[in-house]
Chains A and B, each alone.
Chain A
Amino acid sequence: MTRHETISNPETVLPATPIALAPERPAIDLSSGKYLKLWQGPQHPGITGNMSVELTVCGDEVVEGKTHVGYLHRGFEKLMERRSFIQCFPIVCRVCVPEPDFNEYCYAGAIEELAGIEAPIRAQWIRTLILEMGRINSYLMYLGGQAGALGLGVVGQWTTYVRDLMLDRFEELTGARIYHMFILPGGVRDGLPEGFDGRMEETLREIERTMADVDEVMFHNAVFKKRTKGVGVIPPELIDAYGVTGPNARAAGLPNDVRRDQPYLVYPQLSFEPVTATASDMFARSDVRRRDLLMSVDLIRQILADMPREGALMAKLPNVLHWKIPRGETYVRGECSRGEYGYYAVTDGSGFPRRINVRGPSYTHAMALLEHLIPGTNIADVAALMVSLHTYPPEIER
């Protein structure tokens, strides 16, 4: 099977050409005594990681918000220019802490494509499994954060518990809990351990049980509904203007999912439909993620039922210490829990990448989109709004 087989998707049609610039607002005169500057972050329980939002408030209404990043800049893209292709492999997963596997897949995919290597079929199945396991973890973390931002602390405790079970599965499969360093150019490091399927099934059942409780406590909670319905709406015309992808776009009714639109790995052999909603508010985004999580549970069952148990795990690589890749460029994308994740890779014939650019969905969601959505909201809603976009700052500043 080839990566990125293209299929036509007639449903994915957007409204007329969007040009949605931020509305003109009167200049803010801070000396008038009417406004107050308020920093939400970087040390603040209501911030989504190492970033901050500089709020200008008038009473309890926010009139302006500016996102500040740079608290976690480690210069990965520059570091990679000074490292051989195989030396970059253990670095890339560190770009995104809660869902590192997409970095591994996109990097490996881009390098394989430029070097003319194809990962074996069995490795592609295991890669798909890993990516879906990571998606579940990321969503579990999100649900805890979203509920916590609105005072439902118990949901975070439950989801952390089941996430820990999934981390156990990661540990037995890859040897690591957070940074797995498992999907490397050419294939994957190992096959499934003995008895993995049974333990995974137990974990999946526990996740389903917990999600039923989360559904009761969070999605049927009057306070949660009141605080999230009709709040933080992303109008459909902003989708393209602000590069919105993933659940944020699907909650606005756009059935866009890279797994179906440009299927990669073994997704063409799996049965699923993108989860969508129409309200495009915080509640709809939470609900899309909850249902997407359950879909991933189903996808993992399909993968374990259908995957080949025998066969090569790695393609033959050249000597990685002297590995040179001809001049070229490509872009490889995947559908991560937050939207489109992609690697733009440029090689120049040497033993080092000329340029690697990481395209994380948070880059557009947490910067331009968040700044566009914040004006007019209440201070108390800012934290929940930020979480509802599901952003991870490390992939903004790389």
Chain B
Amino acid sequence: MRTLLENLKERFPLGPITEQRPDLVFVTVERSGLRPLLAHLRDREGFTHLVLLTAVDWIEENLFQLTYLVHDRRRGRDIGLRVLVPRDAAEMETIHDLWPTAATYQRELREMFGIGFPGSPRVDEEFILEGWVDLPPYRRDFDTKAFAEEAFAHRPGRETHDPATHMRERLTAQGRAK
């Protein structure tokens, strides 16, 4: 893996590298440098399997981290490429021409995080949600509890107790005396 990273450093501008395990490395790359690097890894280095493509919301830094995890089946090693995109202009180049299956991941990211992938097939079609009009729900600023309380009515007869208060009332003498 070390040799591979040295070779990559010579050819591509790489950001911070995290060697998580001997067989797993995460590398930060520039947005514009992702596609050439992915194509190089796939065609020259044997990383032919796109394991996953997902996002992490670093809301405090106003950034989305896109993680492209690719796997080299022959040598049993993985590289995770991290690309940081601003949350307020969340858009990234599509890679469905490198891996057709990436279109599914990009469609999900469009729906759940609101990250655009112009040109990706059926990217604007609904994936899981139906008729969703709120904030993309996997963003950190989407409050699931507030949404549930606003969108759904409480069903009578189904009381939910706060565990701490409930146990205090049930277990202590003062609570039972009330």
Interface of A with B (CB < 8 Å)?
A: 4, 6-10, 12-14, 17-22, 69-70, 73, 75, 77-79, 81-82, 113, 240-243, 245, 254, 256, 261-262, 328-331, 333, 340, 342, 344, 346, 354-355, 357, 359, 363-364, 367-369, 372, 397
Contacts and interface: CB of A to CB of B under 8 A. Distances in A.
A340 B126 CA distance: 26
Given A242-B100, A243-B49, A262-B23, A8 B137 contact: no
B120 to A, nearest CB: 12
Interface of B: 18, 20-24, 26, 42-43, 48-52, 54-57, 67, 69, 73-78, 80, 96-101, 103-104, 126-130, 137-138, 140, 144
A24 to B, nearest CB: 12
Contacts of B26: 329
A20 B100 contact: yes
A17 B49 contact: no
Given A7-B76, A357-B52, 11 more contacts: A6-B23, A6-B76, A8-B74, A13-B74, A18-B48, A81-B140, A243-B99, A328-B18, A331-B51, A342-B52, A359-B51
Contact of A331 (B69, B99, B138): B69
B176 to A, nearest CB: 26
**Most chain-A CB neighbours within 10 Å: which of B50, B100, B103, B104?**
B100
A298 B39 CA distance: 41
B97 A17 contact: no
B144 A78 contact: yes
B43 A17 contact: yes
B100 A368 contact: yes
Contacts of A81: 140
B21 A354 contact: no
Contact of A78 (B101, B129, B138): B138
A77 B23 contact: no
A277 B77 CA distance: 25
Contacts of B51: 243, 331, 333, 340, 342, 359
Contact of A364 (B75, B104, B127): B104
18 contacts: A7-B76, A9-B74, A21-B96, A21-B97, A70-B126, A73-B128, A113-B20, A240-B50, A240-B99, A241-B100, A243-B101, A329-B67, A329-B80, A331-B52, A344-B69, A346-B56, A355-B57, A367-B101
